[in-house]
Structure formats: structure tokens, C-alpha cells
Structure 1
Amino acid sequence: MYTSLSSDVVEYCNKCIDHFQTYANSIDAVQLVDGSCAQIFSYCSSLSDRLQEVHTLMSKENFRFYIKVRTALDVQARVIHDELYSVYGDQAPGLSTVERWSKLFREGREELEDDARSGRPISETTPQNIEQIRLLIDDDPYLTIEEIQEETGFSYGTIQRILTTHLNLRKITARYVPKELTDLQRAERVRICKENLEKIQQGTWRLCDIITGDESWFRPKQLGRKSSHAAWIRRGDPPPTVVRQNRPSYGTRGIKFHHDNGKPHVHNNVLAYLESEGLTVVPHPPNSPDLSPCDFWLFDLIKENLPDQSDSQSLHDAVISFMNSLSNEEYKKTFEKWIERMQLCIDNQGDYFEHLMK
């Protein structure tokens, strides 16, 4: 109740501040902005900052207490971060913040509060303050507002206004790529996509005959989601990339089997068995999860909709139940997207293309 109310008030105050700043900057502020406007501006700014400070302070102390207890139990900072993120999502402190506080507690720190600073947080959107935050983001676009606040001493509301209004930034999750492609790999992606598309378009292969599959890790507790890689970017710019750290029935004669080039899939014994069963293997380019329906659609969809489970058996049952709940139309649309993606790969000279998709 308090959190919702304070957030609404902060948003309203920030809008008031922006309107007054626009008005004051567009005319002779000394002559035309009277005392009452100046008082309202000051009050809104103070109330916005104070409410946000109280809300942020409560969250900080709760998070730091948890970090302190888990650190005392000899739990590693990355594990603590994953635990917090699994519950609080993007509201949880960043990994660097957890690591810093875990280190402080291991060294004997007892206090949960920030070290005292002289004066109240700076709440001015001056050119110098804007430039300071811009340089911080240029150096590390994955910083959270909390981390910028600790670095600069600015108020939460000031940082938020500078990021969104003055720097025109928004936070977006980085897109994963398996590795940086070489020219040879890009050419191979184009060649295979052209060959596959030609067979489908000529009717040599029918989509209803293609079975696609892959593997992924599913855990009872959903940890380490992609949004932990959220970064500040300018509006309209593509998301940054993060290189992934590895990892009708008439018999089988007409079936086309599509999977990636994982070692279990391309082992000689596996290929020999598939051939003996009359299964045609659909070629798949190396390092191309963006061309695998399981990777670009199914796995993320399951994980986004899968609640925490108590054990591996309930996890298995929940995954199967969710997959069975998807309509045939959803699967059909995914194969149509697969064809669209192969064409995009060709048009983009074999490079990754997901940032070009609408």
C-alpha cells in the first residue's frame, strides 16, 4: 500500500518538476516565475526525493541484512544475488553491489546504513551532474540507479530524471549471442538457410514433416534470468549483445529431423541410427540459436510462464503440462517465423539479425 502510494506521488512530483523546468527554461525565469511557482517547484522536488529516499532506504536495509546473514553462512555473493533476483527481479541490487557488501561484511562491517554524507542528496539537474552520469553510463551501461546513487551522492529522483529525460535513455535487456561470428561462419549460415528455404519453397520438404528439438536447463527455482543483463541504451538503438558462456503419420520415412550441432546430435552413432530409420536430418548452421525454434521461442516461453516447483518431478510435470496447453496454431506460427528468420539471415549476410526484427 505504502509502496504503491509513494510511487504514484513520486511520479506526479517528477511530472510537476519537469513542467516547471520547461516553463522556466523557455522564458525569463527571474521575471515571470513568481514566488508561488518557485515554492511549488521546491516542495515537489523535496517531496519526490524524500519519498524515494525512504522507499529506497527500506529496500536497501532489507537487502543488506539478507546479504549479511547469507555471507555469515559462507554463501558466495553470486549465489546471494541469484537468490535475491529470483524473488525481487529487477528490484534486487546488482551483482557488483552484492559483491561489495558481501566483502564489507566478511571484513567485519556491522552497519547496514550508508556512510553519512554531508548535507542532503544533490537534487539538481545541472549540466555538470548530467555529464557526470553520462560518463558513468558510458563506462558501464549495466549500472543500476542504486549504484549510480552510491557513486555520485545524487538523489534517486534526480538520477532517474537525468537518465530518462536529459540523456533520453531506457533500460533494456541485452540479447544473447553464442559467439562472435567469423566471415566463414556467416557464409555457412547463408548457404544452409538458402538450401533449406529452397527445399521448403519447392515442396521437397513440408513443414508438417519437420520435427525440431533441443535441450535446455530447467530448474525448480528460476534463477539468473536474462534481465540481469539489462543495460542503459539510447531510445531507438538496438540492444547490446552478451556472448553466451557455453553450452500426419505414415512412418518415419518422410520425417525431417532438425536440431543444432551439439556433440550428442552429430555423433556418428546418432547420425547412423537416424539414417537407418530413414530420417532426413535438416542442416543447421553452427552457432545459430536464432535459427532454432526451441531457442528463439519455446524455452524462453516456458521459463517465463513456469512457477517455482518443489522438486524435479513436479518441474517435469509442469513443463509437459505447459507444452500441452499450447495450441497447434502457436506451433504453426513458430515454423512460419523460422522461415522468416532464415530469410532475414540471408538478407543480413549471415550476421545475427534479431535486433532488426519488429
Structure 2
Amino acid sequence: MQRTIEQRYAIKFCVGLGHSGTETLGLIREVFKDESMSQTAVFKWHKLFKDGRESVDDEPRAGRPSTSRTDDNVQRVREVLNSDSRLSVRMIADRIGIDKMTVHTIITENLAMRKICAKLVPKALSYDQKQSRASACEDLLQRVEEDPDFLDNVITGGESWISEYDPETKRQSSESLTAASSRPKKARINKSRVKAMLIVFFDSKGVVHYEFVPEEQAVNGAFYLEVLKRLKGKVSRVRQSIAGNWKLHHDNTPSHTCSKVTDYLTKNAIATIPQPLYSPDLAPACYFLFPKVKSSLKGHHHGTLSAVEEACMRTLKDLPESAYHGAYESWKSRWKKCVDAQGMYFDELYL
């Protein structure tokens, strides 16, 4: 600050001698060198002194109260955040007249708060949809309480697209670097348009049946009915202990709930486990199996659909029985979380 005051006196002296702004700037730089004021500041003060200003001190600033971390200021920041937690530090500082750095310190240290991005959820649930989710989960929890082996004969499944190439996530592409290293760059890469649809059914012991939908084949009611027929035959071969008394869990897509499918399930005495609408967080295929499969394939170019299918099959075979058992245990805990959250989406949508 002292060097700045000295330069202002020097500028005032140059104005008294009749030097222009450019001449004054040259003299300031010659004398003060690297500590010289900026060109803008020199011209500003040259004009002020030329217009008759005498003082070299800054004008007193008005309008802002104390910027210290007083209890009063902490309380004021708390009240503003309580009214709208999405406000930025700058907006809070402008609203209550406190320095931005002080506001940031109050938020992070005094209030122990941090900015959290909104989490994307499948849908903005209505009151009725929340009630439906909670009610379904309460019913399932009651069934498990009455019969601890309730899930032992439940087969769940679904379908999902698997891309020929799916880029790595930021976490997967992270690197261990020294403090002096520059931050690695990751180019934006889109998924391949070449993709295959995988249909898979599994229980707490492992995969029961899977298949890939032929190209150009729509997964409609007629096609899904044939899939269920193949599933039923597979259950008879690989799950003989439950072949006469197994239950099916799948989502509510039209192909799963059409009359052809429901009539077939009823005729063959295959009970279904309810799945609330818009609830991937309550479907093991969505929060467990498909993320596992896709994660193992990320960052690899498979070239052809047959190569994609082979990679999927390897992943399905490599998953241990304990992983499927854990997914079913998580299923029960997710029902409890949904009930506790009164039907709203809880924090972790996927494993």
C-alpha cells in the first residue's frame, strides 16, 4: 500500500509539471519498474489530479457492514440459506452486504455446509406414486417377515441395451499423479450406435436364463411370451427344486403386462412379485446386474455384435453366486429404505 501511495504522489507531481498521462506512465514505470501501477490506474489518478483532486487516499467505502465472522453475521447467512439453499456465495454476499470470502468461510466452517448437486432421478413422483411405492414395499417386507425364505424361489429379470463401445466413466479413467502433474484430459466420446439387447433372468444363486434379441426384432408381447416359455423350460432344467413353485419379478413395460403374457402366467400358475412404477431402485436387474455387465465392458471396442455378446456371457459367468445373493439381500434393505423415505427415491439408486 505504501508503494501505491508513493506513486500517487509522483503522479500528482507530474500533473503539476504539466506531463501528459502517457508521459507520466513512462516515468512511473522507469522509476518503480515491476512495482509500477497498472496503466489503467495511472491514467485514472492522472485524470483525478488534473481535475483538481488533492487527496491521494482512497475514498471511504460506504454501504457494507462489518465483514467479520460475528455471531450476528453467521445467523444472517444461516437465515438466508434456510430461505433458499440454492443461492450462490456471491448472491448471499450481495443480499446481506458481507464480503464473499467471509460468506464462504461462514458456510464451510461455521455452518459446516457444502454445495451438493441435485441428483437425477427417474421421475418426479406424484403423491399417489410415492404411496404406491411405499405400500408395495411394506407388503413385500411383511411377506419376508412371515416367510424368511420368501425370495428363495423368486426369479427376476429384465432387458437392456449393451453397446459395442461404451466410453469409460470419469472415475474409471482417473489416474494417480503427483502434485506437479497437470490434470489429465478426457475427450467426450459417445456410445456406439451398434448395440445388442440383452434379456436376462436370475435368482439368488445366479443366472437362470439369458438371450439376445435378434436384430430388427421388437420386444413386444408376442416375442416376450416366447421368451417366458423358454425361461419356464430352463427353470425346469436348472432349478428343479423350485420348478413347480417359482415366482416371477419383472417391470411394468407394456410387453410384460399385456393380456397374452398375463394369461400365460395365470394358466401356468406362475405368480408375480409387484414392481412399482418408475422404480429402477427396486429392481435387481437395474441396480445390480446390468450396471455390473456394462461396467465390465466400458472402454473396450468389441467390433461386432457377436463379440459384444461373448463379452456379456463372460461377465455373467464370472459373477460369483455371492454377488447374486448380496443383490437379493440388498433388495430387502431397499424395500425398507423406500418405506422409511415414504415412497420417495432414496440416496443410492444404484450399487
Q: TM-score range by the shorter chain?
A: 0.3 to 0.5
* Rg (Cα) greater in structure: 2
| Larger fraction in helix | 1
Question: What is the TM-score of this pair, normalised by structure 2?
Answer: 0.46
